């Protein structure tokens, strides 16, 4: 279950907040969303939510307090809505029951905060008391297809419900639906299953049978049970539907994953019962304090990072030749081809190719770092000697690095992952996936404006599969051949000899160098009828060995 609206940060819970939350989680509450109602209390709200797993919050200016702030308060809402664990703009809206602020001022702040929500793709939590018409009119005027949200503690009639739903809003129900005088059963029955949620509005709106006492999130079950009764559904169906709707509206799935990782990230307090000797427990506590200090100083500042990568790419190829070519020797020995029925294997290496690119990183836990890297490398090597253009390779890597000693300043980092290599050798273009293995080390350098994290990694990209039919060498027609008796038995001038050879199909233009006057020998095998050129062709498997320096910067949020 998700309690989508509970003021757990208020003074009513100062004496036993931890116990209240524990009762909620024990009762099956998975998440509690705590709206922002008073700007002066926001620091306390943030502190409570940030340190408590399962709590998320809204940020906004409640209509009760709209008359106490100025325009700068809106700038604060816009700036702070990007903070961690903020999942909504709210509680915002209109309240004409109380006379805390004029309607015109409330409307101004309501509208401005709807615009903030749209700019940051956040849902709104709307407070509406005796203001149905104006609330829906303003939502209607601001609805451009991107505005989404919930009318919390919904207590209006079917007509208001229908219009709210048509404007893309959701509704949530609280403890007042359990009261004897509740007269809006038709609203609860009418709302689509995927458009309502449940809440307690703690410490207010306490449901029966606890009415008259302080409300708390554990009582949200009573709201779900009453909805199930009214709609003739099971409690499990209401629990499942309302939870799914809340996760979708507030986009909680990713938040819950990240929150779980953050919880696992922090050093855990040793349990004294796990140790037979006091000395062992004391040592464990000393280690916990040391790790906790290191976590705060060296690990917690690393969240999202970015930087550059530079290194040296050694390309190792294993070639299984399918065709070899031999130039003619002297005037009387012509060139020849050799088709290989049996494997002729050779290994080649292109060392120290300059490589550069960029990296982004996300610190999943103190031990696990997720890194994405783009690399560019250009292999010129001796390819010009074989009349071949350079090989240009673009590599994308997604790697997981595991810190063997996460709470030290220097971390040792075995790593693995997957890669994608896009290669253009000037003749053909190939794209292949690979598997990564490597080892490295990183150094955490905290500063007043963020964390620098340089890493030295030696990484091997084992490219999967084989590139078949790759041209590894190309042998153009040369003047010495044009003047030979086997090429030019009639002793024609050079240009005439070339034209004659083109006409009878003994040579053709090099497909890798069109229009440059470069020609390759051509031969049609009479046994197969297949035309081949003066090239060596092989099936190639590739390994990239890339020692690199990566400098990451983690901004201070």
Helix (H, G, I), strand (E, B) or coil at 365: coil
Model confidence at 285, in pLDDT bands (50, 70, 90)? confident
**CA-CA distance, 413 to 455, in Å (whole number)?**
9
pLDDT at 340: 62
Does the pLDDT value for residue 335 go beyond 80?
no
> What is the enclosing helix (H) or strand (E) of 253?
helix 252-265
**What is the pLDDT, as a whole number, of residue 106?**
96
Q: What is the pLDDT of residue 434?
A: 93
Write down the pLDDT at residue 197: 97
Q: pLDDT tens digit string along 401-445?
A: 999 988 888 999 999 999 999 988 777 788 999 999 999 999 999
pLDDT category at 57 given cuts 50, 70, 90 is: very high
Range with lowest mean pLDDT among 250-264, 304-318, 463-477: 250-264
Per-residue confidence band for 112, with pLDDT thresholds at 50, 70 and 90: very high
Residue 236 is predicted with a pLDDT of 94
According to the model, what pLDDT value does residue 386 have? 61
pLDDT at residue number 482: 83
**What is the Cα–Cα distance from 171 to 192, expressed in whole angstroms?**
10
Q: Is the pLDDT of residue 266 over 80?
A: no
CATH number of 2-257: 3.20.20.140
Task: Please check the confidence at residue 494 and state whether its pLDDT lies above 70.
Answer: yes
More confident residue, 29 or 343: 29
pLDDT of residue 332: 62
Model pLDDT for residues 508-519, shown as the tens digit of each residue: 998 888 888 889
Residue 97 has pLDDT above 70, yes or no: yes
Biggest CA pair distance of the chain: 116
Residue 57 pairs with which residues in a beta bridge?
34, 86
Instruction: Say what the pLDDT of residue 384 is.
Output: 66
Q: Tell me what the mean pLDDT of segment 80-104 comes to.
A: 93
Query: So what's the pLDDT on residue 258?
Result: 56
More confident of the two residues 432 and 327: 432
Distance (Å) of CA 156 to CA 113, 182, 516: 23, 11, 80
Of 384 and 232, which is predicted with more confidence? 232
Whether the Cβ atoms of residue 143 and residue 167 lie closer than 8 Å to each other: yes
2-257 and 304-472+539-555, same CATH topology? no
Q: What is the mean pLDDT of the chain?
A: 89
Label residue 105 by pLDDT band (50, 70, 90).
very high
Indicate the pLDDT class of residue 529, thresholds 50, 70 and 90: confident
Mean pLDDT for 313-338 is 76
How far is C-alpha 473 from the geometric centre of its chain's CA atoms?
A: 42
Query: Of 296, 295, 350, 353, which Cα lies nearest the Cα of 548?
Result: 353
- How far are the Cα atoms of 197, 318, 390, 435 from residue 378, in angstroms, in the given order? 56, 19, 7, 21
Residue at token pair 């004409």: 96
pLDDT at 263 over 80: no
| 135-192 tens-digit pLDDT | 999 999 999 999 999 999 999 999 999 999 999 999 999 999 999 999 999 999 999 9
**pLDDT at position 157, please?**
96
Q: Give every CB contact of residue 137 below 8 A, 6+ residues apart in sequence.
A: none
E strand map for 222-327? 304-326
Tell me the per-residue pLDDT of 449-482, one tens digit each, with 9 for 90 and over.
899 999 999 999 998 888 888 888 888 888 878 8
Distance CA 497, CA 447 (A): 73
Average pLDDT over residues 38-61: 92
The CATH class, in words, for 304-472+539-555 is: mainly beta
Residue-level length of the chain? 557
Domain ranges of the chain: 2-257, 304-472+539-555, 476-533
Give the tokens for residue 94: 């209109």
Of 8-22, 282-296, 384-398, 529-543, where does mean pLDDT reach its minimum?
282-296
DSSP code per residue over 328-355: -BTTTB--EEEEEEEEEEEEEEEEEEEE
């Amino acid at each position: 279950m998700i309690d989508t609206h509970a003021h757990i940060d208020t003074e009513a819970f100062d004496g036993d907040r931890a116990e209240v939350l524990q009762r909620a989680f024990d009762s099956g509450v998975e998440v509690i969303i705590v709206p922002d109602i008073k700007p002066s209390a926001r620091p306390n709200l943030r502190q409570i939510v940030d340190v408590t797993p399962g709590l998320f919050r809204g940020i906004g200016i409640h209509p009760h307090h709209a008359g106490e702030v100025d325009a700068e308060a809106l700038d604060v809402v816009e700036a702070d809505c990007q903070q961690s664990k903020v999942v909504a703009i709210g509680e915002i809206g209109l309240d004409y029951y109380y006379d805390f602020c004029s309607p015109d001022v409330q409307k101004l702040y309501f509208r401005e905060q709807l615009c903030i929500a749209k700019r940051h793709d956040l849902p709104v939590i709307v407070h509406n008391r005796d203001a149905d018409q104006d609330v829906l009119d303003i939502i209607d005027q601001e609805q451009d297809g991107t505005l989404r949200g919930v009318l919390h503690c919904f207590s209006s009639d079917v007509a208001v419900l229908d219009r709210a739903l048509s404007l893309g809003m959701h509704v949530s129900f609280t403890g007042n639906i359990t009261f004897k005088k509740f007269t809006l059963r038709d609203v609860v029955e009418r709302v689509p299953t995927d458009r309502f949620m449940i809440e307690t509005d703690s410490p207010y709106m306490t449901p029966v049978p606890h009415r008259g006492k302080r409300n708390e999130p554990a009582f949200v079950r009573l709201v779900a049970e009453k909805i199930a009764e009214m709609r003739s559904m099971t409690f499990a169906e209401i629990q499942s539907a309302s939870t799914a709707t809340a996760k979708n509206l507030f986009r909680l799935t990713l938040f819950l994953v990240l929150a779980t990782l953050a919880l696992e990230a922090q050093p855990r307090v040793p349990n004294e019962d796990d140790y037979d000797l006091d000395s062992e427990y004391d040592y464990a506590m000393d280690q916990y304090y040391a790790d906790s200090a290191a976590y705060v100083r060296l690990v917690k500042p690393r969240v999202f990072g970015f930087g550059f990568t530079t290194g040296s790419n050694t390309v190792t190829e294993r070639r299984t030749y399918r065709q070899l070519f031999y130039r003619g020797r002297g005037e009387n020995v012509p060139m020849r081809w050799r088709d290989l029925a049996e494997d002729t294997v050779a290994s080649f290496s292109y060392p120290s190719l300059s490589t550069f690119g960029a990296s982004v990183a996300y610190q999943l836990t103190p031990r696990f770092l997720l890194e994405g890297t783009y690399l560019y490398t250009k292999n010129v090597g001796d390819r010009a000697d074989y009349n071949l253009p350079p090989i240009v390779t673009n590599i994308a890597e997604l790697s997981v690095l595991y810190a063997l000693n996460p709470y030290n300043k220097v971390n040792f980092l075995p790593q693995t992952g997957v890669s994608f290599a896009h290669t253009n050798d000037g003749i053909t273009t190939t794209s292949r996936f690979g598997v990564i293995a490597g080892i490295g080390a990183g150094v955490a350098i905290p500063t007043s404006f963020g964390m620098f994290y340089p890493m030295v990694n030696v990484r091997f990209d084992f490219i999967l599969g084989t590139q078949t039919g790759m041209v590894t060498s190309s042998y153009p027609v040369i003047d010495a051949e044009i003047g030979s008796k086997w090429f030019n038995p009639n002793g024609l001038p050079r240009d005439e000899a070339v034209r004659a050879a083109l006409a009878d199909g003994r040579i053709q233009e090099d497909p890798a160098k069109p229009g440059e006057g470069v020609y390759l020998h051509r031969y049609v095998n009479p046994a197969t009828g297949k035309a081949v050129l003066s090239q060596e062709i092989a099936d190639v498997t590739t390994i990239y060995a890339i020692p690199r320096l990566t400098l990451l910067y983690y901004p201070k949020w």
